[in-house]
Amino acid sequence: MDVKALIIILMSSVLVDNYVLNRFLGICPFLGVSKKVNQSVGMGISVIFVMLVATAVTWPVQTYILDKLGLGYTQTIVFILVIASLVQFIEIFLKKYIPSLHQSLGVYLPLITTNCAVLGVTINNITDGYNFLESMVSSLGCGLGFLLAMVLFSGMRSRIEESDIPESFKGLPVTLVAASFISMAFFGFAGIVENLLA
């Protein structure tokens, strides 16, 4: 275990295996909350937060409960259960003790309760055989990648809103086309990270 491996995990989950743009998870908030830059930043930060907390809980659940009992296949349903109640718990906790943080994250927390990007990160961490530290780093990277994609895309959308779009492309169609372009751009990162620190 060295720092270099961690950096590679971080960078590749931000750029190469970007959850939104390369694995197409979490498309719903990506399209839904990306109209304004400040909203997308709020959403991105909330996702980072939830991903980290979710991984911190699901990794031990998988390793010390499910694997011990040979119940690895119930992973999906158990993780949904755990993440959903965890997010609810955090929301209640924040409302009581850190109202300011609850106000800024409040709208987004329920939205990502069962977000597939969050579930995807926790499951992929297990599938990739990461240990606890690696899982946390990978979650952080995925969250950062989500934030990056959201911010880039919301900037793009604010430009789109002001341009002259053919009638039939207005609204969601042009948004999806733009999303595909940005996704193609991210494919360019493939293969970079492995050689970055070589």
Partner 1 sequence: MITGILTALLVVTVIGVVAGILLALASHFFKVEENETVKAVRECLPGANCGACGFAGCDAYAQAVAEGQAEANLCIPGGPDVAGQLSAVLGVEVSVEAPKVAYVNCSGDCSAVAQKTIYEGLQSCKAAAMVYGGPFSCKFGCIGLGDCVAECPVGAISVKDTLARIDPKTCIACGKCVKTCPKGVISLVGEDVVVAVACSNKEKGAVARKNCMNACIGCKKCEKTCQHDAIKVIDNLAVIDYAKCEDCGECAKVCPTGRLKIVDMKNGVIG
Q: Which residues bind partner 1 (CB under 8 A)?
A: 61, 65-66, 69-71, 73-74, 77-78, 81-82, 85-86, 88-89, 92-93, 95-97, 162, 164
Of the two residues 93 and 187, which places its CB atom closer to partner 1 in the complex?
93
Q: 168-194 burial by CB neighbour count: b if 16+ within 10 A, else e? A: eeeeeebbeeebeebbeebeebeeebe
Q: Smallest gap, in angstroms, from Cβ of residue 81 to partner 1? A: 6
Residue among 85 and 180 whose Cβ is closer to partner 1: 85
Of residues 15 and 119, the one with the C-beta less far from partner 1: 119
Number of residues assigned to the chain: 198
Closest to 117 in 3D by CA, of 55, 193, 39, 72: 55
Task: Pick between residue 6 and residue 61 the one whose CB is nearest to partner 1.
Answer: 61
Alpha-carbon gap, residue 33 to 128, rounded angstroms: 30
CB of 124 to partner 1, least distance (A): 21
Choice between 103 and 131, CB closer to partner 1:
103
CA–CA dist 107, 170 (Å, integer): 27
CB distance 11 to 196 below 8 Å: yes
Cβ contact 75:66 at 8 Å: yes
Instruction: Tell the smallest beta-carbon distance from residue 49 to partner 1 (Å).
Output: 18
H or E segment at 188?
Answer: none
Residue 61 C-beta: closest distance to partner 1, Å: 8
Closest distance to partner 1 from the beta carbon of 85 (Å): 4
Instruction: Say if CB 112 and CB 19 are below 8 A apart.
Output: no
